[in-house]
Amino acid sequence: MYTGKTLFSQLMDFVPWTTYGKIVARYGGDRRVRRLSCAEQYRAMAFAQLTWRESLRDIETCLSVQPSKLYHMGFREPVRRSTLADANEGRDWRIHAELAQRLIVQARKLYAGEDLGLDLDNTVYALDSTTIDLCLAVFPWAHFRTTKAAVKMHTLLDLRGNIPSFIHVSDGKLHDVHALDLLLPEAGAIYVMDRGYVDFARLHALHLASAFFVTRAKSNMDAHRVYSAPTDRKTGIICDQTIALDGHHTSQHYPGHVRRIRFRDPGTTKTLIFLTNNFALPAATICALYKRRWQVELFFKWIKQHLRIKRFFGTSENAVKTQIWIAVSVYVLVAIVKKRLNLDASLYTLLQVLSVTLFEKIPINQALAGTDSKCDTSQVTNQLNLFAY
């Protein structure tokens, strides 16, 4: 209920603070803390994400212009950049990672009924990673190449609502395929990946867990055809085959049969070869599922454009991971607000409105309900062909 609170305070009411307090206590986040508790640290960093602040000084300055409202926004005293910097350096990043995971659980329940545009009841995930470039001289712990530093953000995106269900932040050297080792396969779920994740031992582990995968074949794959199903070439499906692997190692790593679908994209006339262990779905559905994989690419593009994960407020590994996880939690928090308030506006539009109204004292549903959801279309006009690689 609206009781004269600022929009920022109303938004923060959606955070499960009781759960957050238990997480902070588990990691001793507020032990021996006299100023800027973990909750205040989170609020300050969330404020920076929502208002697109560029530095700690920027955060301090913007919060200081409304001193009379700080207490009602959850701050006991003015936020100093040195205190916030110390908090980001010293408070365990796992506090904010666990909070983000709790919010993700809430969001996935809210978006469980979203339409994928396909006649599927399965949960569909897209797995990919994005590299965040850093300066090697400033971030020596994130060594990537001889003259370059980077961190990788491995993400498993639930395509119903585009909610990240799993995120792992690693150094830039961790190969994408190792992210499969970190997953707990969900029986009946479909995992859509590009060919960088083709490792037949790991794909067979998904198969044994009763999960399905959809990926692209590498050009040097050694296999022979066992059976060919009839296809309609007018739909772009050239062949739908059951194959067995012939490579010395691959045949041992994946002793069963795999489905291979050859598809010609009518837009680019490019031929693509898909691999899956799902023999029940129509071939056209398998191709459409791989097309949906680009939602994770758009997710990475979106958060890099609209959240602060490319310019960091601290240089330590703890500070970088803290900022990334708080950015993710803010993304999910706004998605929760959008669903609970039944708003038609896009997340981009909601963030635009919040960025200029956080200090206003108006009901949050009134502030956000009148937004135009169509203004987000310009954000994806540069999207590549969905089957390009």
pLDDT digit string, tens, across residues 14-54? 999 999 999 999 999 999 888 899 999 999 999 999 998 88
The encoded tokens of residue 221 equal 């794959």
Q: State which H helix or E strand residue 47 sits in.
A: helix 38-51
Q: Is the pLDDT of residue 80 over 80?
A: yes
337-366 average pLDDT score: 88
Looking at the fold, whether 273 and 348 belong to one and the same domain comes out as no
Among 216, 250, 277, give the residue marking a domain's end: 277
DSSP-derived letter for residue 93 is T
The tally of domains found in the chain comes to: 2
Instruction: Give how far Cα 388 sits from Cα of 294, 310, 333, Å.
Output: 10, 26, 32
Looking at the fold, whether 330 and 265 belong to one and the same domain comes out as no
Cβ neighbours of residue 28 closer than 8 Å, sequence gap 6 or more: 92
Looking at the fold, whether 340 and 263 belong to one and the same domain comes out as no
What is the model's pLDDT at position 371? 54
Looking at the fold, whether 265 and 337 belong to one and the same domain comes out as no
Q: Could you tell me which residue, 268 or 169, shows the higher pLDDT?
A: 169
Confidence band of 373 (pLDDT split at 50, 70, 90)? very low
Worst-scoring range by mean pLDDT, 37-46, 91-100, 131-140, 194-203?
A: 131-140
Residue 231, Cα to own-chain centre: how many angstroms?
36
Mean pLDDT of the chain: 88
- Containing structural domain, residue 12: 7-97+314-380
Q: Is the pLDDT of residue 374 over 50?
A: no
* Percent of the residues in the chain that have a pLDDT greater than 70, as a whole number: 94
Q: Is the pLDDT of residue 234 over 90?
A: no
The encoded tokens of residue 15 equal 């955070």
Looking at the fold, whether 248 and 324 belong to one and the same domain comes out as no
What is the model's pLDDT at position 311? 82
Q: What is the pLDDT of residues 154-197, one digit of tens each?
A: 999 999 888 999 999 988 888 999 999 999 999 999 999 999 99
What is the model's pLDDT at position 370? 62
Worst-scoring range by mean pLDDT, 7-11, 26-30, 266-270?
A: 266-270
What is the model's pLDDT at position 385? 46
Q: Is the pLDDT of residue 63 over 70?
A: yes
Q: Is the pLDDT of residue 208 over 50?
A: yes
Q: What is the pLDDT of residues 327-346, one digit of tens each?
A: 999 999 999 999 999 988 88
Within the chain, how many helices (H) and strands (E) appear? 13, 10
Give CA–CA dist 31/272, Å, rounded: 56
Annotate 216-257 with three-state secondary structure: ECCCCCCEEEEEEECCCHHHCEEEEEEEEECCCCHHHHCCCE
Among 253, 277, 301, give the residue marking a domain's end: 277
